Chains A and B, each alone.
Chain A
Amino acid sequence: MKKLLTVLLMVALTAGVVFAEGQQEAEGPWSPTKGVEWVVTSSAGGGSSIFTQNIVEIMKNEGIVEKNIIINYKTDGGGAVGRRAVSMMKNEAHTLLTFNSGDLQPLVTREGGDLDGLTPLAVMALDGQIILANYDSPYADMEALIAGLKGGDRIIVGGSKSDDEAIYNAMKSEIGGNMEYLRSDSTGEALTQLLGGHVDIAIAKPAASFDLVSSGELRPMVSAGATRFADPFDAPTFGELGYDIEFQIYRGVVGPADMPEEAVAYWSDALAKVAATSAWKENYINKFLLVDHHLGAEDAKAYMQKFEDMYTK
């Protein structure tokens, strides 16, 4: 019985290889030959899911990709299992993975993986972070807070478990003082802590805190990016305050390491087309207050590599 199964399997596999090769030789530039699976390693409804859904919708509506794309939420092991599964795929052209800086960090720090296991296809957008305080905070601005820290005040910093922690670490080493980090599952949870006065300041993304800041519930203290945000998030950058802290997080797309070259070119091109549409700029970038910043496969690789170096050092 076992032998029979093995034989059957071998036949099927050989047949598959022959078929696959036959198809590739027949055409000029590569395009998907079957349905595409797009893996998202966080749950439906979150930031990555909105990002992916927007791209898929535009690909479909604008006729950029003809074949059907199915979004597959693989959340086991905090996303580790999905990332590992994609990176192990051999000669796979029909699998994509949403891959943000928040995914890269656990990949290199906890899961023993690195970018060599993946093929970056694009960076689609950048997201900034802002540090907020409650409206009734005793610290009028960041300078007052830093003065407080130097004077021995204890400051509890709230933020999410992924990207935000890097900023806290930088603050701790650059500014120093009696600071402690209260890690939350999500930015929403961190903002709840801040609104309730259980933390002194919180690190957040503008999109998640837009209404709270524009209504005056929360105050922007300092921007973690290279430049100031527009109103209502207008606050000095760390650079202006004289500290060498500058962070930006990216939202990107990757494929398995062993993705055929033609497919890499195809996807890089398709994602570039998406980034150029007005639907992308209006319904995604502007709506969620992101920074429009598209990079093709080659540049994305170099860009993500910089992040990997930062996380591993």
Chain B
Amino acid sequence: MKTLKANTRVIIPSITFILGIIWVVYGLNNYGWWENGPGSGFFPSIIGILISGISVIAFLEGRKMEPPQYIKASYYPFLAAFATVGMAMIIGFFPAMFLFLQGWLKLYEKFSWKKSLPISIITTAILYGVFAMWLMVPFPAGFIYNAIRG
């Protein structure tokens, strides 16, 4: 099992600390603190200060703790989903969805064609039926289709 090393126990508080500082700086400089009542930046600045402060505590606590284990496989769905979105823009939403399902079952889970094809065809068909035909959500048809249809 391939594992990844990154101590997210300290990375997460660091990110929230920085976000908090950004919120405070923008809140105080750009959005107004108090104009006859709390201004646009009042609330976010307070929240920013609080989260930065507590992030410091979380950081110190996190340093003492064993970092959680990550494995590479966890990120595969994430990457595959991005690839699917990219594909959707070119070949259209549902073909991309079908390719994703089929590709995943065949290449990652190593299912046989006989087992994987029905699953991906039926899933795509149900999703298409419910979302596109019945609920009439307009999905992108992709560059290629658009180009051909003018």
Contacts and interface: CB of A to CB of B under 8 A. Distances in A.
A–B direct touch, CB within 8 Å, in complex?
Answer: yes
Contacts of A13: 143, 147
B123 interface: no
B144 A23 contact: no
Q: Is the interface of A mostly helix, strand, loop or mixed?
A: helix
B22 interface: no
Contact of B147 (A12, A23, A34): A12
Which of B138, B144, B146, B150 has its CB near the most chain A CB atoms (within 10 A)?
B150
B40 to A, nearest CB: 12
A200 to B, nearest CB: 18
Nearest to B148: A16
A166 interface: no
Given A9-B144, A12-B143, A12-B144, A34 B149 contact: yes
A258 to B, nearest CB: 15
A292 interface: no
A79 B52 CA distance: 33
Contact of B138 (A5, A8, A20, A72): A72
B140 to A, nearest CB: 11
Interface in B88-125: 90
Which of A5, A12, A37, A72 has its CB near the most chain B CB atoms (within 10 A)?
A12
Contact of A19 (B138, B144, B148): B148
Given A9-B143, A9-B144, A16 B138 contact: no
5 contacts: A12-B148, A13-B147, A16-B146, A17-B147, A70-B136
A15 interface: yes
A13 B150 CA distance: 9
A33 interface: yes
Interface residues of A, number: 16
Contact of A15 (B90, B136, B138, B148): B148
B90 to A, nearest CB: 7
Interface residues of B, number: 10
B148 A23 contact: no
A70 B90 CA distance: 21
Nearest to B87: A5
A15 B146 CA distance: 11
Contacts of A8: 144
A32 to B, nearest CB: 11
A33 to B, nearest CB: 7
A21 to B, nearest CB: 8
Interface string B41-57: 00000000000000000
A5 B90 CA distance: 10
B107 to A, nearest CB: 15
Interface string A55-76: 0000000000000001010000
Contacts of B138: 37, 70, 72
A72 B148 CA distance: 22
Contacts of A20: 150
Given A9-B143, A16-B146, 19 more contacts: A5-B90, A8-B144, A9-B144, A12-B147, A13-B147, A15-B147, A15-B148, A16-B148, A16-B149, A16-B150, A17-B147, A19-B148, A19-B149, A19-B150, A33-B149, A33-B150, A34-B150, A70-B138, A72-B138
Nearest to A37: B138
A20 B148 CA distance: 8
Contacts of A33: 149-150
Contact of B150 (A5, A23, A37): A23
Contacts of A72: 138
Interface string A9-35: 100110111011001000000000110
Interface string A69-87: 0101000000000000000
Nearest to A38: B138
A36 to B, nearest CB: 11
Contacts of B146: 16
Contacts of B90: 5, 9
A69 B41 CA distance: 44
B18 to A, nearest CB: 24
A17 B146 CA distance: 10
